[in-house]
Structure 1
């Protein structure tokens, strides 16, 4: 993990690379996060729930080397995003910066909304409202009992805006929210911890898989519409990864390490329909508010060819127990790999910090095969001129 001084030095090198021209600095872009455990930075630490990552060795590679509530060995997807978005808000020539420079940005991470430290000027950095275990549907994750479902995340977002208004005034608060970058990650739990949680689950008896996917998409559209009503104007929407390829599924449902077919079919049905829904929603709004990240393709590429991305394995989790280290959560008594850089998965479901970085790099610079209608570099370049 690079120190702030190393990051600053790297930033200066990047500025020199941009034709020797340094753009005037502007206010850093605020960042908001909604969703599940892939992006929860510690909200669930403040809740009485089993969906928590507050025990070692979680956080082993975080700057503090202690658990923070992130389901990772180190930085989460929002942490990497925070650096990127804030760097690009400071550079009017962001669209010509090389990918090596794109990982550098703010020294401050977006705090969980429930953190007591989220006060005063820290509100200007943004807030993370995500909660492990939640889904698009309110009945997803009922086994975790006390989690922040989407309607509650939006209630907290409204509270945040009132607090921001008290700090900077109504007009500036509205502008900050409008100019913010937003990340939302939902859907995986609606399959893993709902439809396929147990044989003959309530939802699987109610819906065939194709009908369930259509229902999820219809409900997700309502969530995105509500987010727009609350002021969001630049929203990265991630799909699900190849859910059947997670170490948990390999350990429980396969014997030879092949991806579990039912969840793979769910991913294959869900992700294209999500992209189509986002296209339709943008058309209704008349602006490219929502940006679809095809995380299914991104992660499937890595899983199919881990060596191409510098990994050794995409099947075995770095931390866990049982086949593929895929049984149960990562705990102090789990097997833990020595080199986290060469593993795609940290625990039975969640990527390593390096896995998160690869994902964000694709979101940052990926082609339209990965990002629709544009990648984050293009978004930042467009927004820096408006």
Structure 2
């Protein structure tokens, strides 16, 4: 009798989980985010780290007008992608609210300060390094399996959209962090780039092993043009050429390993987003995009508002839409929207081999 009752309860739980899954699946797909501060939705709020954005004026233009841990005045790139795919924003994986039906939306594993390499960002002490982000992704899938069953969980992950943004910190917060850094003494720049790229290929391969089947991979932006580097390295307001050289070496090799991985798996799993060009468009001609400046950060202090962090004591511009950069390193929400517009509908100069609107159309036919 007890055994029969247990089986009936188990059967009802399974049916309920399947009903939840079916309801959530209608016109939806999960979204997973990995990477650094450009895409962190607030994981670092839950860590003892100096790499955080949990105090005003961060979030000044967010719907709640409160800081969320996003390195933005408002929405960041994952938020705006979620808008485009008709989904609510993903919660940080460390957020206690990420449970139950919220798991079906996906999760954001990104952590400000991280890079491809484990020694990148060590000055921030406690951050979620990329290997740990991938381990959390495994843990997430176990939790999802408990909610909707192992087979459905695998299908849900396979059909998800994934965004990964890494690489910039491996230069600005590692190789070029201080003169004669350990990595700059160990490697000449071309050799360092090859090393980072080889490690990145393993990260992407691991993502595939964990079930990711549609992954947008962003390259680095024009690293030498951010206000922090202008303040540190530029005498005339021009982009620092050494950091620009690093980006020019890194990005083509990233596209190369993406092509190699797609050939190895026999499908267009990985999609290259040309973040360098997306950013450089408005940096090189800010007025064409409605910006007053792409050199001075909205929030900060010192030359170009590029010194130190954005804090309650910093200068803050009254009109965030007039600035391409919110703080010394990160774009404003307006600039993020320009970037996502190219991710969504840009030509193959920006998205290779296809943009997000094409991905959504192709996958809708595939998953019917």
TM-score (norm: length of structure 1): 0.88
Which of these residues, 137, 141, 156, is aligned with residue 117 of structure 2? 137
1:363 equivalent in structure 2: 343
Distance in 1, Cα, partners of 2:42 & 2:67: 9
* Residue 82 of structure 1: how far off its partner (Å): 0.9
Q: Report deviation, 1:263.
A: 0.4
Structure 1 residue 125: deviation in Å? Answer: 0.4
The structure 2 residue matched to 1:110, chosen from 81, 84, 90, is 90
TM-score by length of 2: 0.92
Aligned to 1:250: 230
CA-atom RMSD, angstroms? Answer: 0.8
* 1:354 aligned residue: 334
Give the Å deviation of 1:279. Answer: 0.7
Instruction: Measure, in 2, the Cα distance between the counterparts of 1:299 and 1:217.
Output: 21
Structure-2 residue corresponding to 1:127: 107
Deviates more, 1:305-314 or 1:30-39: 305-314
Instruction: Select between 303-312 and 239-248 the one with higher mean Cα deviation.
Output: 303-312
Deviates more, 1:304-313 or 1:197-206: 304-313
Mapped to 1, the partners of 2:292 and 2:275 lie a distance apart of 20
Match of 2:296 among 289, 293, 316: 316
Distance 1:353 1:300 in 2: 16
- The residue correspondences of 1:336-351 to structure 2 (distance < 5 A) are 336-351=316-331
SS, match of residue 73 in structure 2: coil
Task: Please say if 1:325 is aligned against 2:305.
Answer: yes
2:56 is matched with: 56
Looking at structure 2, the residues matched to 382 and 182 of structure 1 have their Cα atoms a distance apart, in angstroms, of 16
After superposition, the C-alpha distances for 1:177-209 in whole angstroms (9 at most, x for unaligned) are 000000000000000000001111110011100
Q: Partner of 1:385: helix, strand, or coil?
A: helix
Within 2, Cα distance between the matches of 1:259 and 1:173?
46
Gaps of 5+ in 1: 1-24, 86-104
Q: How far, CA to CA, are the matches of 2:308 and 2:342 in structure 1? A: 29
Q: Distance in 1 between matches of 2:305 and 2:185?
A: 31
SS at match of 2:261: helix
1:286 aligns with 2:266: yes
- Structure 2 residues without counterparts, runs of 5 or longer: 1-24
Asked if 1:221 is matched to 2:201, the reply is yes
Superposition pairs of residues 143-158 of structure 1, within 5 angstroms? 143-158=123-138
TM-superposed CA distance for 1:277, in Å, is: 1.1
Hey, what does 1:47 align to over in structure 2?
Answer: 47
Secondary structure, aligned partner of 1:266: helix
1:35 and 2:35 are equivalent in the alignment: yes
Q: How far 1:308 sits from its partner (Å)? A: 1.5
Q: Cα distance, 1:27 vs. partner?
A: 3.8
1:339-358 deviations in whole A, cap 9, x for unaligned?
A: 11111100000000111110
Instruction: Please state how far the C-alpha of 1:235 moved relative to its aligned partner.
Output: 0.2
